[in-house]
Amino acid sequence: MLARLSLLVLMAVLPAAAQDYAREKRWADEVVPGLVVGDAVWLETSAGRKFLAIHAPAAKPKGAVAIVHGIGVHPDHGIIGVLRTKLTDLGWTTLSIQMPVQAADARTEAYYPAVFPEAIDRIARAGAWLAAKGETRVALVSQSMGSWMANEYFDANRESPFRAWACLGLTGGYSLSTWFSPRPILDVYGENDLEPSRDAAWRRRLTLASAPEGSRQAMIAGTDHFYAGKEDELARTIDAWLAEVLR
């Protein structure tokens, strides 16, 4: 863990890695004109670079949720697009943010640690943006590599506007500091999830035993890493948990 943090610090002070901003722009050009639920808003990193977020206010909001997608996609892709829409329908204002991407053929190791400092910054900017809108009951929902990015964000930001974290499909276990999380965690994975996520489920469950009240693990039966066919169950699971811990 210390080695990972050292790498993150080093990357933060070195020139920016070869992050594929052109690909990010192509995603935005494709996604924004086709939006049906929510509107495009442009947030800004600490370095002054704008990035896409999709903001969808709920009609009768219970609170707000920032959503962090997985590797190499966009904030309306696949399960993320479905989930942000369903959570909005269930009463949660959503802000789905574009995370840093690499080239289309980039492997996982091209992302860590190269783009993680900016990923952490973008999550922080999303939280600040929601807080500036007057949102006080705010949670973070992350999926796949986005969950790894979220874990790094919380490692670097003990004080945060996010009062709860729904962590979906984390491949592996939590960082050591998560044992002392000041916020409740919902750990979600699919029965047929990726092997690293399934195999480490017991480790994550052990971590949650020392997390705040309301922390728990949920296995969604009969589905995979992307919750195919069980999107409604996933959304209801997150909705019920958020309503409990953000009272």
Supply the DSSP string of 124-165, one letter for each residue.
HHHHHHHHHTT--SEEEEEETHHHHHHHHHHHH-SS-S--EE
Averaged pLDDT, 59-81: 98
Averaged pLDDT, 121-134: 98
Q: Tell me the C-alpha distance between 221 and 237, whole Å.
A: 12
Burial class (CB in 10 A: 0-12, 13-18, 19+), 74: buried
The answer for residues whose C-beta is within 8 angstroms of residue 204's C-beta and 6 or more apart is 170, 173, 174, 187, 217
Q: What is the pLDDT of residue 16?
A: 43
Position 233 pLDDT exceeds 90: yes
* Residue-level length of the chain: 247
Position 216 pLDDT exceeds 60: yes
How many other C-beta atoms lie within 10 A of the C-beta of residue 217?
Answer: 17
Position 87 pLDDT exceeds 80: yes
Domain range spanning residue 101? 2-245
Q: What is the pLDDT of residue 112?
A: 86
Q: What is the pLDDT of residue 18?
A: 60
Q: Which two tokens stand for residue 9?
A: 């610090």
Nearest to 114 by CA among 76, 147, 71: 71
Averaged pLDDT, 70-74: 96
Nearest to 38 by CA among 85, 71, 70, 91: 85
Report field, pTM of the whole predicted structure over 0.85: yes
Nearest to 149 by CA among 125, 110, 123: 123
* pLDDT tens column, 3-24: 343 433 333 333 344 689 999 9
Portion of the chain with pLDDT greater than 90, in percent: 85
Helix (H, G, I), strand (E, B) or coil at 50: strand
Q: What is the pLDDT of residue 9?
A: 39
Which residue in the block uniquely carries the two structure tokens 């000041």?
182
CATH, residue 154? 3.40.50.1820
Q: How many domains does the chain have?
A: 1
Specify whether the CB–CB gap between 27 and 13 falls below 8 A: no
Mean pLDDT of the chain: 93
